[in-house]
Amino acid sequence: MKALLDWLARTGRETGKTFKLLRRNKMGFFGFLVIIIIVLASFVGPMIWPAEQSANVEAINKGISLDHLLGTDFQGQDNLRKVINGGRDIVIIAFLTGVLATLIAVVVGAFSAFAGGRVDSILMELVNIWLTIPKFPLLAVMATVLKLNDIVTLSVLMAILDWPGLSREVRSQVLSLRRRDYIEAAVMLDLGTRNIIFKELLPNMMSFIFIRMIGTMTHAIYQQTGLVFLGIVPYSSANWGVMISAAERRGVLYNPQAIWSILTPMGAIVLFQLALVSFARSLDEVFNPRLRTSV
Amino acid sequence: MKDIIRLDHVTRTFQVRRQTIKAVDDFSLTIHEGEIMCLVGESGCGKTTTGKMITGVLPVSAGTILYHGQDIAKLRGQGLRQYRLGVQMIHQDVYASLNPAHNISEIIASPLRRHGLTKGETGTQARVRELLQMVDMTPPDDFLDKYPHQLSGGQRQRVSVARALTVVPSFIVADEAVSMVDVSIRISLLNMMSKLKDAMGLSVLFITHDLALAKYFAWEGKIGVMYLGRLVELAAARQLVETPHHPYTQVLLSAIPEADPEVTRKKRTIQLRSMDIPSLLRLPSGCSFHPRCPRFLGEKCEKIVPELKTTFDGAAVACHAV
Amino acid sequence: MSSATVSPTLPTARNPLFFWLERIVSNYLLRRILKAIFSIWLVTSITFILVRAMPSNPVEIMIQDLTSAGYSPDEARTQAATLVGFNINQPMPEQYLEYLRNVLHGDLGKSYKSRGLRVTDMIVQVLPWTLFSVGLSLLITFTLGIMLGAIMAYKRDTWIDHLLSNLAATLDAVSPYLVGLLIILLLGVIWRIVPITQMRGAMSPGIQPAFSLEFFADVFTHVRVLLLVYVLSAVGSWMLTMKSSTIATLGEDYVTVARARGLPDLRILTAYVGRNATLPLFTRLAISIGFAVGGSLLLESLFTYRGVGFLLSRALSERDYPVMQGVFLVIAAAVVFANLLADYLYGWLDPRIRIVGGE
Amino acid sequence: MPPTLAVRDLSIEYKARRGRVQAIRNVSFDVERGEAVALIGESGSGKTTLGLGIVQLLPGTAAITQGSIVYQRYAPPAPYTKPVAAQQVEVLKLQGGALRQFRWKECAMVFQSALNALNPVLRIADQFADTAKAHGYLQGKALQDRAQHLLELVRLDPARAWKSFPHELSGGMRQRVLIALGLLLEPQLLILDEPTTALDILTQRNIMDVLKDLRQKLSFSLIFISHDLSLAAELADRVATVYAGKVVEIADVHATFKEPTHPYTIGLINAVPTLKGAKEDLTSIPGSPPDLIELPSGCKFHPRCPLADQLCQEQEPELQAISAGHQAACWHWKLAGEALSRFKASENRA
């Protein structure tokens, strides 16, 4: 029981410190807040403001007004409501791809660094060759051939394409940490490989892994919108990517009135990407032991 | 006295740009229980590689290392675990030897918890305090939740020693343990280590490039001088410094300045045949010191690798001219 | 103690084949070329598998389309074969080998949609547009990135550094496609500076390609907005890389020693800080040249700029597999070649590596 | 005869996150013409900051808060170089072009990390040419002859070193190239900051012999910064011990080792093992080096000093004359000599 209480107290203290450190970096904290808002809005929002089913003829392409805060689109549906309902897919794709790619990369990268020798060199040769293949065109070709109809398979495909680059970086990070004396001392004290990886190595790599994960998430959002624009990924649901290309196809560029129907989804994606990046840039401080102690 | 560590014709090779270099070449040494053995030599002579092979993190390329008479390569199960915990190392770099993400009590407590050396959390905390006391970090409570970057170089090295003692080892490899610590507190670290050595009956392999330090720390023990991977001279510490036999040892001793103007300015430096240090990639044939050796005998030194012979006063020297 | 050992003489040469293999592996550049060829072969195989060998793959679909369009099954098969450029009735391995032979001869099969046009010719026709637009923008982005990056490093922690760093981070975070849309909306729709027509296509319909000023003026008016988007979407990361590389170099001892030697600032900035800081950027430049061949799939279609990217995007939406396959192969080969170039360039630029045989 | 360099009440501070690091606290000392002064101190004592301060190469976060440095030129300016305007130069007032001229022509500096002190992408010849062109010195063949003469002087193979890149030379060779480069414009003052710390015993001996040789042949003054007492004993004419940013003792090299008076100097000498010394002689200085941001009150050494009393805790002593040319900053220097000195103790015991 006491160990449990200790553990709870310690995690409480640690999260408290993390928040204090986060607040110290204004940009990072702002990013963190925006991410939370977007995720909440995308999952809770649709319950409160479900998407309008029918078109509303007389409100087509209206600008900003009181009852339509962000104007309406070519079907007369309220842009704000559409954006709220369009976020869920994007958030899922971003987190699913990011976590999946990072997970595979960390496992393969760490394994390859620890295995060393022939296994390591073969694995890394393959990764290097894989990296010379341009990603987006390959994704586009595979997407056309494989008929992706739901976001989960799309995310898995994007994760499969993205993890090799990440694993090479993880491997070099593990290799450089592994040569440090405190890891060698842990090996001599026979603390066990599992302990060494999770308790000695990972804490020093957390900020590195998180920043790379967020990089993959931003990249996933970009690729999804691109595929939708090229018409390769079907219009299964009205997510932000679909909203943008639908508006673009409806000739928004020639009708200044309808501009809001494209600006709203674009604004949402840009805001989400910026929030992710500024949060990532503050993570260095959050995980830096030197700073954690001065809080 | 029983021997604790024995190296038999140990060799370690590395691949450098498609070539094989011998970092340690046909190295044999015996260290008895409770003894202090110093390994002295310039950088690249293989002393650290030897230390790492003894601790088992670096496998040998040829030859065998015996711990209490058993070949460490063949140890399994309980015997292996006993050896693993029996031999610990104190590293040189005070900034890299402690995990920056853990505080001091975690660093010392994790081996205790891992091997169940203490009863419950209270037992562990008590043992951590006891260990900090042993390395003269008093009062221990001041340091428990401090992080490595909050300690001075000397304090960090003491924590490193305390961590090594958690598993009650019988053999410590100190690899340049004090060379990064300020001169003024170096001696207190060494005194603490020799006090612990006697208290726990440890044997120590003290690796350093500083012959004066080796003589001071090993006072009763032995000093081995290494050159380009080979042991060239082995003798009792004070005897080696006062009456060196191997030309390389003599050159080293003549080159070291003394902290006393009268002495150091009268010292005559032995002139070497050539200044540039041969690289391990193009190791000179025969005795690898022959291109620079002031007592070069010609073909014999160029062709045959001299082996260690015992001299009249009990020193072991690998040189044809002795 | 050890017996006296005479130092080992040179190992006797083993059989000649092994000796040759040993020499090839040891030569760094030869090994790199072999690796490059292997990756191109890998890419060719991937595209072959994707297009041909996967179940319900597009070639079958082509045949079904043709049969539904009234062709008899056999006729449909032969027709599809001519289009794809190899005989689809043979067992899989033969088809694969024939496909490889065609690729080696530069014959990437015929376009499905625009009948009779050879894919290779289509690519060659559009390649100059992409190389021109992406190449030019790469040059601008590279020089701009280095200069702004260096300024950010020298004027560290001043207002200009914060401004440029945040600007660079923002531009880097937002995807190029969105930057493109934003620029079109801003320039074309909201501020109306550039008429929409000039943001469409590579040149006006009536103009004949000739070495006339008029032709170049027309080309430039069409490409300038696309250039702006390319530069804006890429310059951010170049600036950040240059900034961190310069900061690292400024911290080096040889810069302090150069100052201690009383060298003029200009000399230090160019030969000491400049050359060392830009080393990593040159390799990255070489690699991006490779990606230049592919152009930007999205931006070229957004601006309907008839380049390689546009060709691939149309092939993708029209499911024109031979073209898709061909373009993808050309892009991949260009990237592989660029990587080779990058390695060689780095070896040549950095003496520490040149002397050691580009290891 | 005015000294080549006269440092008066120099103070240098760094801005750090935790507060102001007082690296140098009103330090005064002179370097006579052709004299070698050793600055001995441990890590964090501020000795490198002092060196960098003289040539004003301090990093952005550092600021010289007070003090003056006066440089006196004796010999006519090196042949073919532009003469320095006034004979006497107020170093800290030098700006821009004048400061650039002063650096290396009047005062050259050799740093500790030899491995990284030369531009990796330029050959040694180009780096010599850079330096010469910056000061309007010799060019072309004349420069090559002069440089190769200096390379020979530092016992290097001039032809090979001249054409090679820095990474093709060993640490020891690079350090000797830097010394040769330092002497190119015949400066009157050479500052060596831990020149041999990163090198092996034999290479260090080689460089020390080269330095002693050069001091016979050329008449330049030398500031030798090190933590190694034995190197100072060998090379220096006068030794200044630095603790927590202040010179606590300065004396002739023989006096420093035979009659050390400041407890810290004594402690340092007692803590260095020598090849001849007996085992029981060695004692450590208790406690650990001071934190330059929260410095202790009064004499900064009092927490570690066996003779510290009320007076030491409250007031910081200034340098007082002990004997001709021997100064120490300690309230109880008379007691310190007898009580602590190892040589005194071992002499009457031997």
Task: Inform me whether the pLDDT recorded for C73 exceeds 70.
Answer: yes
Nearest CA in chain C to D56: C260
Best of C40, C54, C313, C330 to disrupt the A interface (most A CBs within 10 Å) is C313
pTM of the full structure: 0.83
Candidate from C178, C297, C328 with C-beta closest to A230: C297
| Strand D238-243 versus strand D246-252 pairing type | antiparallel
For A10-37, the pLDDT digits (tens) are 777 777 777 777 777 778 888 888 999 9
A45-69 pLDDT, tens digit per residue, is 888 877 777 777 777 777 777 777 7
Record: contact B96-A180, CB cut-off 8 A: yes
Nearest CB to D121; choose among C256, C258, C276: C276
Nearest CA in chain C to B19: C26
* Burial group, residue C210, by CB count within 10 angstroms (0-12, 13-18, 19+): exposed
Q: Report pLDDT for C5.
A: 38
pLDDT-derived band at D350 (thresholds 50, 70, 90) equals: very low
Determine whether A149 is exposed, middle or buried from the number of CB atoms within 10 Å of its CB (0-12, 13-18, 19+).
exposed
* Best CATH choice for the domain B3-101+147-317 from the list 3.40.50.300, 3.40.50.1100, 3.40.50.11860, 3.60.15.10: 3.40.50.300
Report the pLDDT value the prediction gives residue A235, as an integer from 0 to 100: 63
pLDDT in tens, D39-50: 998 887 888 899
Q: What is the pLDDT at residue D221?
A: 92
Question: Average pLDDT for residues C345-350, to the nearest whole number?
Answer: 78
Q: Per-residue pLDDT tens for C122-166? A: 888 888 888 888 889 999 999 999 999 999 998 888 899 999 998
B274 touches chain D (CB under 8 A): no
Q: Return the domain boundaries, chain D.
A: 5-236, 242-349
Our CA-based measurement puts residue C133 at a distance from the nearest CA of chain A, in whole angstroms, of: 18
CA distance B80 to B77: 5
Task: Supply the pLDDT for residue B182.
Answer: 86
pLDDT one-digit tens code per residue, C234-271: 999 899 999 999 999 998 899 999 999 989 989 999 88
Cross-chain residue pair A200–B99, CB shorter than 8 Å: yes
Average pLDDT over residues B212-220: 90
Residue B266 has pLDDT above 60, yes or no: yes
Residue contact C173–A273, C-beta within 8 A = yes
> C222-226: which pairs have CB atoms within 8 A and are 24 or more residues apart?
C222/C198, C222/C305, C223/C132, C223/C133, C223/C136, C223/C305, C225/C183, C225/C184, C225/C187, C225/C194, C225/C198, C225/C199, C225/C303, C226/C133, C226/C137, C226/C199, C226/C299, C226/C300, C226/C303, C226/C305
Nearest CA-CA partner of B123 in B137, B112, B135: B112
Q: Give the pLDDT confidence score for residue A1 in this predicted structure.
A: 67
How much of chain B exceeds pLDDT 90, in percent? 60
Q: What local confidence, expressed as pLDDT, does residue A241 receive?
A: 84
Asked if the Cβ–Cβ distance from B97 to A195 is below 8 Å, we say: no
Condensed to tens digits (0 to 9), the pLDDT of residues A148-189 reads 778 888 899 999 988 998 898 899 888 888 888 999 999 999
Q: Tens digits of per-residue pLDDT, C11-36?
A: 444 566 777 766 666 676 777 788 88
Closest partner residue to C2 among B9, B17, B286, by Cβ? Answer: B9
| Best A176, A183, A189 residue to mutate vs chain B (most B CBs within 10 Å) | A189
Burial A5-17 (b: 16+ CB within 10 A, else e): eeeeeeeeeeeee
CB pairs B-C closer than 8 Å: 23
Give pLDDT tens digits for B220-232. Answer: 899 999 999 999 9
Average pLDDT over residues D193-218: 88
Question: What is d(CA C313, CA C324) in angstroms, rounded to the nearest whole number?
Answer: 8
Does residue D236 carry a pLDDT above 50? Answer: yes
List helix spans (H) across D236-298.
253-258, 263-271
**Token pair belonging to C208:** 């004949």
Tokens of D330: 């300690």
Q: Where does the pLDDT of residue A229 fall: very low under 50, low under 70, confident under 90, or very high at 90 and above? A: confident
B55 pLDDT higher than 90 = yes
Indicate the pLDDT class of residue D219, thresholds 50, 70 and 90. Answer: confident
| Residues of D in Cβ contact (< 8 Å) with C275 | 121
Query: Predicted confidence band at A194 (pLDDT cuts at 50, 70, 90)?
Result: confident
Name residues 20-39 of chain A within 8 A of C (Cβ): none
- Rounded to the nearest integer, the mean pLDDT of chain B is 90
Q: What are phi and psi of D306, to 5 degrees?
A: -65, -25
More confidently predicted of A175 and D344: A175
Give the confidence band of C359 by pLDDT, cuts at 50, 70, 90.
very low
Task: Dump pLDDT digits (tens) for C265-315.
Answer: 899 998 899 889 988 888 888 878 877 776 678 888 888 888 888 888 888
* Mean pLDDT calculated for residue range A92-102: 93
pLDDT in the model for residue C3 = 37
With cut-offs at 50, 70 and 90, classify the pLDDT of residue C8.
very low
Q: Is A3 on the interface with C (CB under 8 A)?
A: no
Which contiguous run of DSSP H or E holds residue B19?
strand B19-32
What single letter denotes the amino acid at residue B305?
V
Is it the case that residue B248 has pLDDT exceeding 80? yes
Give the CATH fold of the D5-236 domain.
Rossmann fold (3.40.50)
pLDDT over 50 at B22, yes or no: yes
Note the pLDDT of residue A293.
67
How far is CA B281 from each of CA A275, B284, C256, rounded to the nearest angstrom? 53, 9, 33
Q: What is the mean pLDDT of residues C222-226?
A: 85
What percent of chain C is modeled with pLDDT above 70?
82
Give D264-281 pLDDT, tens digit per residue.
Answer: 999 888 888 888 777 767
Optimal mutation site among A132, A138, A255, interface C, most CBs of chain C within 10 A = A132
What's the pLDDT band for C355 if we cut at 50, 70, 90? very low
pLDDT band of C348, cuts 50, 70, 90? confident
- Checking if the pLDDT of B159 tops 50, the result is yes
More confident residue, C198 or A105: A105
Quote the mean pLDDT of chain A: 82
Mean pLDDT of B128-141: 92
Residue of A nearest to B172 (CA): A188
CB D26 within 8 A of CB D226: no
With a pLDDT cut of 90, the percent of chain C lying above it is 16
Name the band, by pLDDT with cuts 50, 70 and 90, for residue B26: very high
Flag whether residue C177 sits within 8 Å of chain A, measured between CB atoms: yes
Whether the ω angle into residue A256 lies within 30 degrees of 0, i.e. cis, is no
Residue range A276-292, pLDDT digits in tens: 988 888 887 777 777 66
C185 vs chain A: nearest CA distance in angstroms?
Answer: 7
pLDDT for position C238: 93
Most confident of A43-57, A138-152, B258-272: B258-272
Taking the CA of residue D212 and the nearest CA in chain C, the distance in Å comes to: 23
Please give the Cα distance from B162 to B111 (Å, whole number): 11
CA proximity to D228, closest of A202, B210, C238, A174: B210
B285-295 per-position pLDDT tens digit: 888 898 889 88
Chain D contact present for C261, CB below 8 A? yes
